[in-house]
Amino acid sequence: MNEPGKKNKKRIIETAKSGLLVVLLLSTILLLYIFWENISPGDVSISDIGFQDETEYEPIDAREVLIPDRIEISYGDGNYGIITDGTARFWHDTGNAASADFVYALREFASAENVFLEEITKEQYDQVMAFESMKFVFDYYIPFAEFCDAYDVSRVQGIDKIDSMAEISYSFGSMESVFLYDAATGKFYRMVGSGEDLEQGGFAGLYGDIAFVADIAYPLNLVVGDVTTNDTPVPLPAVFEYSEGSYRNEKQTGGPEFGEELAKTFFGDSFDFIRTIADSSGNMTYMYGYGQRIFIASNEGVYTYKTDESGTEDMGYFEALNNALAFVAIHGGLLNSEGETFKICLSDVDIKQNKTKDYEFKFDICNERHIIYKDGNPLLVQVKGGVVTYFERDFFAVDDQDDQQIETGESTAANVLAKNLDYMYDVLLKGGFLAEQPEKFAAVSEILKDIRFGAVRFSKNEDGGGKIETCWCFTFTAGQKEAEMYFDANDAEPKGYTIR
């Protein structure tokens, strides 16, 4: 017969064992949950996955990608000039704080005492720009107060009202001023400072550097006459740099292994447990959970990441841009599949105000020349509530390229416009850019936004490669829509178009 004390003691031991087993089971479940979610025990958010990789990467500064689309020059005597490639060196040299660039001169200008801001009329702006002047033009809007903070430019009272700067200029017609254009409101402003010694300052030297290398250009209404009021610059170079080559996508050059290595940067240590799906077209999909996060390596060499989780942080413009660039740097950076480094420039920004400000940043490749994609984007990043929710990458490797200088001859912008007027009109009419009307030339020229020589990456062929060629590029806008048309640099024949 057992003693009562021993029986109770045994029951207590068995109960303790059972409790310990329950604790161990729950701990195992918790650790598996943490492991599968790829998070630290104190954090149950999946939005940070991909940033926990401690591998060193080359950071990308927002100031390195914020580059003017073009620089327009007035020589003050009725002659004009334009630069569309290589604008970065005149705008801001991040490697040399004391360089002769516009931001450096602006920083000096704004640091003086008693600088103030005032609104001016468009007529006043146009009048002063007719003097010797330089105008830095962006294809997107920039909040000027945040711009000043990012570039260490002293804030001037009232600059918060300029939320959508698209142009910033300097003119010898008013040497005590820097001029700004807010494209969202259509208003013009000038920052007024002291005019003393400005003639010997940074703006004067920079103007001389730009004026020396700019291509000759004239306003469209001066080239074609009073048929239009549009003053878009029309380049009229005597010779131009022509290049023709072919490219291959990153799937072709890097193979499936490149896509897998890129996918690993998004899923971290849990990659071995990610579901992979291969379809008959050669696309590979890497999926976490039930689709909370997906990475797709397409057979065409386009790599896409998306997540259905967004954050709640209301980021400013530059904070969101730096967040997007940090994401790019960690996930592949600016190296293509062959180890060549690209330079990128911001090409478009779309901002939507929901519960937080949501940003979509598009980037172009801007090495020696600005590469224009007929289809797609080299890089696209969406930031919602402080979290990157979408990423798209479409880089390439150049196979061969032939560069030469060609005389413009009969292949001028004006001749391209005249020869292809019916083609342009039909494309714009079908695209809803204009209504049917008898005066085709006036209708087409009035919505012409930009003309330039550009290196165009044409659509991929069945093999996934394609052609890159210098063409005449004509851009038209109507509301939020944009049409870009491409014409042969030699015979002005149409080579296709894109509507965005």
% of the chain at pLDDT higher than 90: 71
- For 279-336, what is each residue's pLDDT tens digit? 999 999 999 877 889 999 999 999 999 998 888 999 999 999 999 999 999 999 999 9
The stretch 83-98 carries a mean pLDDT of: 80
Distance CA 383, CA 312 (A): 11
The stretch 135-141 carries a mean pLDDT of: 97
Distance CA 210, CA 88 (A): 12
pLDDT above 60 for 11: no
Give phi and psi for 243, each to the nearest 5.
Answer: -135, 145
C-alpha pair distances (Å), 435 with each of 171, 443, 444, 447: 39, 9, 11, 12
User: Burial level of 437, CB count in 10 A (0-12/13-18/19+)?
Assistant: exposed
| Tokens matching residue 216 | 């000759």
Distance CA 77, CA 55 (A): 56
Residue with tokens 């029309």: 234
- Residue 350's DSSP bridge partners are 360
Distance CA 288, CA 2 (A): 57
The reported pLDDT for the residue numbered 245 is 94
- For 163-172, what is each residue's pLDDT tens digit? 999 999 999 9
| Tokens matching residue 312 | 């709640």
> Per-residue confidence at 36, pLDDT binned at 50, 70, 90?
very low
Start-to-end C-alpha separation, the chain = 91
- Residue 246's DSSP bridge partners are 400, 467
**Angle (nearest 5°) at CA 165 between 151 and 97:** 20
Reduced 3-state DSSP string for 224-274: CCCCCCCCCEEECCCEEEEEEEEEEEHHHHHHHHHHHHHHHHHHHHHHHHC
The mean pLDDT value of the chain amounts to 87
Reduced 3-state DSSP string for the chain: CCCHHHHHHHHHHHHHHHHHHHHHHHHHHHHHHHHHHCCCCCCCCCCCCCCCCCCCCCCCCHHHHCCCCEEEEECCCCCEEEECCCCHHHHCCCCCCCCCCHHHHHHHHHCCCCCEEEEECHHHHHHHHCCCEEEEEEEEEECHHHHHHHCCCCCCCCHHHCCCEEEEEEEHHHCCEEEEEECCCCEEEEEECCCCCHHHCHHHHHHHHHHHHCEEEEEHHHHCCCCCCCCCEEECCCEEEEEEEEEEEHHHHHHHHHHHHHHHHHHHHHHHHCEEEECCCCCEEEEECCCCEEEEECCCCCEEEEECCCCCCCCCHHHHHHHHHHHHHHCCCCECCCCCECCEEEEEEEEEECCCEEEEEEEEEECCCEEEECCCCCEEEEEECCEEEEEEECCEEEEEEEEEEEECCCCCHHHHHHHCHHHHHHHHHHCCCCCCCCCHHHHHHHCEEEEEEEEEECCCCCCCCEEEEEEEEEEEEECCEEEEEEEECCCCCEEEEEEC
Q: Which residue has the higher pLDDT, 408 or 21?
A: 408
Distance CA 95, CA 89 (A): 10
The stretch 179-186 carries a mean pLDDT of: 96
| Tokens matching residue 188 | 């013009």
The stretch 170-193 carries a mean pLDDT of: 95
Give phi and psi for 266, each to the nearest 5.
Answer: -90, -25
> Per-residue confidence at 42, pLDDT binned at 50, 70, 90?
very low
Give phi and psi for 206, each to the nearest 5.
Answer: -65, -40
Please list, in sequence order, all residues whose beta carbon lies within 8 angstroms of the beta carbon of residue 438, skipping any fewer than 6 positions away: none
The stretch 128-146 carries a mean pLDDT of: 97
| Tokens matching residue 338 | 């062959």
The reported pLDDT for the residue numbered 269 is 67
> Per-residue confidence at 407, pLDDT binned at 50, 70, 90?
confident
% of the chain at pLDDT higher than 70: 85
